[in-house]
Structure formats: C-alpha cells, structure tokens
C-alpha cells in the first residue's frame, strides 16, 4: 500500500478491548507494513503506569517520530493506539503531510459485552481494564476525517482484513 516513495500511515484506533491491537498486528503482516504499538512503546520507555495527558502525548510523539523515520524510507506504517483525542490524530496527519504521504484512519469497535470479556483476560502489553475503558469511552472524540469503522467479533478477523484492504486501495 502506498507508493515506494511516500509510504502510507494507517491509524488503527479504538477503545481498550475493542480488538484494535490484534487487528492492527494482523493488518501489518498482511500489508508487510511496520507495526507500531503505543503499548509496546510505553513499555520500551519504561512508562508503564504513567497516564497523564502529558505522559500519553509523550508516547504519541515518540510513535510519531518513529512513523516519520519509516515514512522517510517509503515504508507503510500501521500505528496502533486509542487515538481518542484529535490532537493525537492531528500529530500523525502532520507527519504524513510533511512526508507527502497519505493517511488512512480505521476505527475498531466491539460490543460492550465482548469488550468486558476481553478486559477480564490478562493481556500481554496493555494495562487497560474496565475502568480505563469507561473513562476512555467518555473522552473519545468522534472522527471528523473520513474513516473506516470495523466491528470486531469473536471470529471475524478475515472479514475485517478483507474490508480494510479493500478500503485502503483508495490510498494506493
């Protein structure tokens, strides 16, 4: 996806427990893209447990710098985070614009029941629990830009990937 010169940024957003990280990892493999995860960056920066807005923006700025580096090589990047605030999305839009690259937004959603089930399970990289989900749900700013909404289920990853790759063709 994206031409060899300018790359493509694919923002995969959604609330904790929505299935966004599982989907984003599979999408990156499918597209042979670079996968960047806010959870993994937080761990690498030894910032687990730090969740003030400044802490979060530091993680997003770090992820944006990595995105910029990969775009400079013409690579496609799948960026996986909640992206609940416009400022977080705008940061990546600015990087894409600077690099003359395109940016695509994908919002992953899931039923409340499924989210609760997922958040009850221990997850490798994420610290989010039901309380985090509830507060993020209140803070999540609706998209103003064009975006694809994918509903995550218990066994529909193939369908999600098909819909996403079809949607992303417009960015080639």
For the chain, 172 residues long, give each residue's pLDDT as a single digit of tens.
444 457 999 999 999 989 999 999 999 999 999 999 998 888 777 655 555 667 788 899 999 999 999 999 999 999 999 999 999 999 999 999 999 999 999 999 999 999 989 888 755 556 566 777 888 899 999 999 899 999 999 999 999 999 999 999 999 8
Asked whether residue 1 is assigned to any structural domain, the reply reads no
Give CA–CA dist 19/1, Å, rounded: 22
Task: Name the domain count of the chain.
Answer: 1
Asked whether residue 76 is assigned to any structural domain, the reply reads yes
Give me the residue label for tokens 């790359």.
7
> The domain containing residue 167 runs over which residues?
8-171
Q: Quote the tokens at residue 11.
A: 């923002």
What sign results for the dihedral spanned by CA atoms 23, 48, 88, 63?
A: negative
Asked whether residue 108 is assigned to any structural domain, the reply reads yes
- The DSSP secondary structure of 13-37, one letter per residue, reads E--TTSSHHHHHHHHHHHHT-EEEE
pTM score, whole prediction: 0.89
Asked whether residue 3 is assigned to any structural domain, the reply reads no
How long a stretch of residues is the chain?
A: 172
Q: What is the pLDDT of residue 1?
A: 47
At 77, which CATH number? Answer: 3.40.50.300
Asked whether residue 15 is assigned to any structural domain, the reply reads yes
User: Mutual orientation of helices 53-72 and 86-98 as an angle, nearest 10°?
Assistant: 20
């Amino acid at each position: 996806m994206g031409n060899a010169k300018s790359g493509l940024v694919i923002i995969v957003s959604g609330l904790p427990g929505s299935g966004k990280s599982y989907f984003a990892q599979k999408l990156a493999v499918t597209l042979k893209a670079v996968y960047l995860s806010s959870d993994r960056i937080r761990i690498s920066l030894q910032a687990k447990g730090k969740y003030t807005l400044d802490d979060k923006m530091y993680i997003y700025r770090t992820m944006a710098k990595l995105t910029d580096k990969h775009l400079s090589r013409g690579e496609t990047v799948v960026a996986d985070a909640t992206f609940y605030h416009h400022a977080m999305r705008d940061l990546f839009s600015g990087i894409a614009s600077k690099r003359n690259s395109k940016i695509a937004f994908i919002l992953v959603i899931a039923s409340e029941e499924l989210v609760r089930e997922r958040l009850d399970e221990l997850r490798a990289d994420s610290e989010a629990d039901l309380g985090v989900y509830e507060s993020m749900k209140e803070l999540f700013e609706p998209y103003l830009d064009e975006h694809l909404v994918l509903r995550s289920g218990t066994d529909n990853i193939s369908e999600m990937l098909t819909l996403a790759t079809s949607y992303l063709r417009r960015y080639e």
